[in-house]
Amino acid sequence: MEIGAPIQTPTGGHAVFVDAKKPLPQIPTHQFPAQALSVARYIESGVRAVAIGSFLEGRDPEIGEQAHSEMELLRLTTPRRAYAQTHTDLIVEGFGKVFEIKDTLKEYTFEYEAPVLRHFTARLRPEE
């Protein structure tokens, strides 16, 4: 099933990386497009993914401003021998539904962020 997700190629054996900046140009990097895509994907399909970009990058320790990551990627993994083709089809179908509503996805801002390793315990909220 082709859904038009812009991915990094060649794909690896352990993950596929979706370029979240391309389908979500309305979300600036300091408001985490990969995280927005990850949340929407989880809501739609119940499958988790990892945002790798500015959210993971953190803040510049000297000035406290959000660091800018050149890449905003959503890391999608599937454990070997854990899913049947029907599972994979459902995951792709759910992600396809996210791409149908991508123009409505919102930016995220922090409600809480830890000073160290914030991506493990942060609480984010979508902009209204």
Q: In this prediction, what percent of the chain has a pLDDT beyond 70?
A: 98
Q: Flag whether pLDDT at 26 surpasses 70.
A: yes
Q: Flag whether pLDDT at 34 surpasses 90.
A: yes
Mean pLDDT of 73-93: 82
Q: pLDDT tens digit string along 94-109?
A: 889 999 999 999 999 9
Contact 27, 96 (CB under 8 A): no
Decide: pTM greater than 0.85: yes
More confident residue, 83 or 93: 93
**Full strand arrangement of the beta sheet holding 73-76:** 16-19, 73-76, 50-52
Q: Flag whether pLDDT at 46 surpasses 70.
A: yes
Q: Flag whether pLDDT at 83 surpasses 80.
A: no
More confident residue, 14 or 55: 55
Ramachandran class of 11: left when φ > 0, alpha when ψ lies in -120 to 50, beta otherwise: beta
Q: Flag whether pLDDT at 1 surpasses 70.
A: no
pLDDT at 12: 74
Neighbours of 84 (CB within 10 A): 9
Mean pLDDT of the chain, nearest integer: 88
- Residue partners of 95: CB distance under 8 A and separation at least 6: 3, 5, 41, 44, 45
Amino acid sitting at position 118: R
Residue ranges of the alpha helices (H) in the chain? 33-45, 54-57, 85-100, 118-121
